Amino acid sequence: MTEKETIKNQVIFIRNTFKEMRNKTERFSKDRDFNMSNPQLFTFLYNAPVTLSIAGDGTVDETEIAIIEKLARSVDVNKTVNLNLLEIMSVAPEPENCMTNEEFNLRIGSELLYLSRNMNKYERDFIEGIQSLLKFDKNPKKDGSMTSALNKLMDFVIENNAGKSKGKELIKVKDYKKRLGLL
């Protein structure tokens, strides 16, 4: 395969993967008027496994809200998507009228909370959206990989949530991890 063909295949892969991610989150984005750029979509899906862990028992309690609030304060599109990744994403078409990164950073906590509370409506979409995101992970078994980071993020939520239904959540999170391909 020539270098030109390799580049063409990479561009097709990136475009198709972003198209999949966008298709899977379209219903949520429309329901919430949450029009994300590609870097914002990447960042949102990267943090969405938290909502699966939280929604595992079907309720969102005060501890889980605190976890979302803490996470939301640390989310920043510019920190999640470095320049190299931004350059790679630039080949995928962007939707029109996307929010600014500042607006995204302000809204992500409330959107993650909404998603946690309404996971029954969006579960399949977000599992498939996260699966699409994980296609970017070329070394999923490597420590520090995206797969490893998402696995640790889900574990963090469960470890810091000592609710009455922790056992039920552990079983559900294990199921989510299997479906996402994290185990």
Residue ranges per domain, the chain? Answer: 3-180
Alpha helices in 76-165 (DSSP H): 77-80, 83-89, 101-117, 119-133, 146-159
Q: CB neighbours (10 Å) of residue 124?
A: 11
178 Rama sector, left if φ>0, alpha if ψ -120 to 50, beta otherwise? alpha
Q: Which residue has the tokens 């992500």?
A: 108
Please give the share of the chain, as a percent, with pLDDT higher than 90. 74
pLDDT at 168: 76
pLDDT at 171: 87
Please give the share of the chain, as a percent, with pLDDT higher than 70. 97
What is the pTM for the complete model shown? 0.93
Triad 29, 33, 34: Cα angle to 5°: 55
- Contact status, residue 93 vs residue 26, Cβ threshold 8 Å: no
Read off the pLDDT band of 163 (50, 70, 90). low
pLDDT at 162: 58
Give the pLDDT mean for 145-163. Answer: 86
Whole-number average pLDDT of the chain: 92
Q: pLDDT for 30-69, tens place per residue?
A: 999 999 999 999 999 999 999 999 988 788 989 899 999 9
pLDDT at 88: 87
Residues 95 and 175: their CA atoms lie apart, in Å, by 33
pLDDT at 56: 81
- Contact status, residue 136 vs residue 145, Cβ threshold 8 Å: no
